[in-house]
Structure 1
Amino acid sequence: MSEDTEVRRTLNEQAARQLANATKTRAQWSGITPRWLVSFLPWTPVEAGIYRLNRVKEGAIGTSSDVKCSPTNDADLPESYVPYEENPREYSLNAVTTVLDVQTRVSDLYSHPIDQIQEQLRLLIEKVKEKQEFELINNAEYGLLTNTAKSQRIKTRKGAPTPDDLDELISKVWKEPSFFLAHPKAIAAFGRECTKRGVPPPTVNLFGTPFLTWRGLPLVPSDKLTISAEGKKTGKTNILLVRTGEKRQGVVGLFQPGVPGEVSPSLSVRFMGINRKAIASYLISLYCSAAILTEDAIAVLEDVEVDHYFDYDKKFA
């Protein structure tokens, strides 16, 4: 018997694969990010989806003329009071929503070993959470970047972010600042500038992850700070410095616990029924907002130049 005949009588690999069980992964999506902003912000529960921000009237409180130290016995005590804004701002929770449609034939027949409905819900919830972080930064009504006061905005000295620029941000948010927020490419550009000056930024471990720091404040990465088109090799973005917490009159995230169908705080999944075409629908809703309690709780460094432009606006259009 020839060698060729022996080969033909041997079970080949391609045929053998038909009887083998392949180990399958869950669907992998490169668009999932750590969403550090959501982790670093303190979250305040609200009732009825409304948060009223009461403030003192700016410039209405005097200094030495209103309060005296050790007045003499024959002197009148100073009279004063603290005036409030008469029309305080109210924040309403914003809904980030989407609807999942699944053909029941698909979910009935093809849900082993991975449940098709649960996998679709998992991925869409990730997309909703990515959109949530984008809105926390860029939303016109409550986004941190868009609601920073003009007096709290500065521009870079030379284009690329430098230690001097970040020190200037600290001078704007000097009352117990919490963290910087920047695009990963902006953090890389800052690291290069520090290396040029011989002052490489140290790192700190938070949530089990190393972060670069400056003056002891972590530089938190988020790709939701967009990069605008400037040229083929460069673009411009922003860096934020944030103070957080109600006790420190900082920035807080807003959510409403106990919403119907809640699977995590302020996130709900609700079955909407099956139509006559056998399509099952699920409503995914995430309710959130953010509030800047005082103007000096946040500052923005503008016109930060970074390498290799990419249009992040299209990712969340």
Structure 2
Amino acid sequence: MSALRKRFTVSTAASCPAGTTLASTEKSSVQSREIGAALQLALRRSKLTQGTIAGRLGWSDSKTSRIVTGYTAATRLDVASFLVAAEVAPEEIERVSAVADLSPRAYSIQAHPVGLPDMLPTLLHLGANAHTIISYQPHQLPHLTQTAGYTETILRDSDLLAPQAVLDGASARQKRQTILSGPKGPATTAYIDEAVLSRPLPPQVAAEQRLHLRTLVWHPRCHLRIIPATAASTATTGFTLFQDDRGHEVVTAFTPTAMLVLDHPDHLAPYRQTITQLASRALTDTTSAVRLLASGTFGGATAC
């Protein structure tokens, strides 16, 4: 047996008898669903069946199913054992096990490089499993609508990141946007403050960003809506609401160096209220499109 297997293999008969679980909760949470999604991916890549993994670990079918579907909060030991049985790479075992090891509070506040929540696997998970996405950024274009050049410009202007970190961050943001191009991509609504469109950009960046917005405007599942400068102020940080096909809702709220992950109804309510306000103040899709593609957007001199 390899050193890796010795490190992670446990006596499941002693620590978790068949038919029992080590769940800290029986309620599905965003944390348990993220772990479950990682285990499902490992299962598909291994080409093993769920029953085979359960047999290797001495788990009941019920326990295995609830962990994989996210309806049981698995322990770090459960996660590591499952991934070892699925013959997953050591670095992925460490990453997913670390997520399982987080307390709910620690999971709900995730640190990241300045301005770059895109580096967090949780954000990738939420986007990849979303049926609906609603986003708002008060001081820049919503992340899923940005070109790489726009992102690099915004990050460089902060003067807080090394050049390589800027490039890595822009690449990570572009990777997140691939969910919009898939055949079953989420219905996405992005609210944009009109003042953001007046921020001057380098000519080439401005032209590329307008061209990208034109593509999104014609996207059947994307809705870009402008909040006019004359509308009442919406005092909020940037945030995104994700809803999956089972109706689970999660909000990610952004600070400069941390992302809040919220799924309790009491925590979701203020953001739901803000979305209602934004929807009532925003221009229609058609009127917004005319403004977004205007030649003066981002200080551009020519139409794209």
Please give the TM-score of this superposition, normalised by the length of structure 1: 0.24
- With a CA cutoff of 8 Å and minimum separation of 6, indicate the structure with the bigger relative contact order: 1
Task: Judging by fraction of residues, say which structure has more helix.
Answer: 2
Task: Judging by fraction of residues, say which structure has more strand.
Answer: 1
Please give the TM-score of this superposition, normalised by the length of structure 2: 0.25
